Amino acid sequence: MKIVLGLAAVLVILLGMVAAVGNLDGSIVFGEPSAEDPSVVDPTVVTGTEMGYLEFVVNALQSVSSDISILGRLFSQPALDDDMWRASAIVLLDRIEAAHGAIATIEPPARLQPFHEMAVAALDHSAVFARTIRAGLSQGQTELTEEAAVELMAAAESFGQAENLLNEFLATHQLPE
């Protein structure tokens, strides 16, 4: 039951994040703005580089949240003897763990550094959670351990802080038209 509540918290936080960036419709040209572009002289406008970065990172955060949620559903009805169940769990754990490395190595735009640090923290806690679950699974354990619960809650908290930082950034920087 703890895992389901923790997963629900992470999912709710990520849904808010997705809604905040929901205006990103792909109509923006990525890259640095030209000298004729008004965003060059207006530091309150989100640049193309920042948009590309945000789309990539928010997508990674959303994917991890979704994978954690699916993992929670799998573990709500464990079937250790079912090869398909076990393979599904392992694929989800692999993806959760891999997301941290994909984001941690990115150099964020300067104005998004605080958001980046919190996103990396959220994905780091998620990866530790996944490794803890994997270790238990390898021993035939499907119950949420105290260590896994702590990491899941730390991930949820970091997701929430990342969402707050993203919302603050978007509140003070308008999206280009």
Query: Residue 6's pLDDT is what?
Result: 53
Give the number of domains in the chain: 1
- Domain residues for the domain of 54 are 2-19+47-172
The answer to the question of residue 132 being in a domain is: yes
- Pick the closest to residue 2 from 146, 169, 156, 174 (CA basis): 146
The rounded distance, in Å, linking the Cα atoms of 94 and 90 is: 6
Q: How many CA atoms lie within 13 A of 40 on its CB side?
A: 8
Note whether residue 26 is domain-resident: no
3-state SS class at 174: strand
Whether the per-residue pLDDT at 86 is higher than 80: the answer is: yes
Residue scoring higher pLDDT (119 or 80): 119
Considering the entire predicted model, what is its pTM?
0.78
**CB-based contacts of 106, cutoff 8 Å, min separation 6:** 53, 56, 57, 116
The reply to whether 121 falls in a domain is: yes
The whole-number pLDDT of residue 4 equals 46
pLDDT band, residue 174 (cuts 50/70/90): confident
- pLDDT score of 175: 84
Are 151 and 6 spatial neighbours (Cβ–Cβ below 8 Å)?
A: no
Beta bridge partners of 174: 45
**Residue-wise pLDDT tens digits, 3-48:** 544 554 554 454 455 444 444 444 333 344 444 544 454 788 899 9
Establish if 148 belongs to a structural domain. yes
DSSP 39: G
Q: Which residues pair with 12 in a beta bridge?
A: none
> Does residue 156 lie within any of the structural domains?
yes
Q: Which pLDDT tens digit goes with each residue over 105-152? A: 999 999 999 999 999 999 999 999 999 999 999 999 999 899 999 999
In-domain check, residue 100: yes
Q: Please check whether residue 42 lies inside any domain of the structure.
A: no
Q: Please list the alpha-helical segments (H only) found in 21-145.
A: 48-76, 83-104, 113-138
Q: Is residue 31 part of a domain?
A: no
Radius of gyration, CA atoms only, the chain: 18
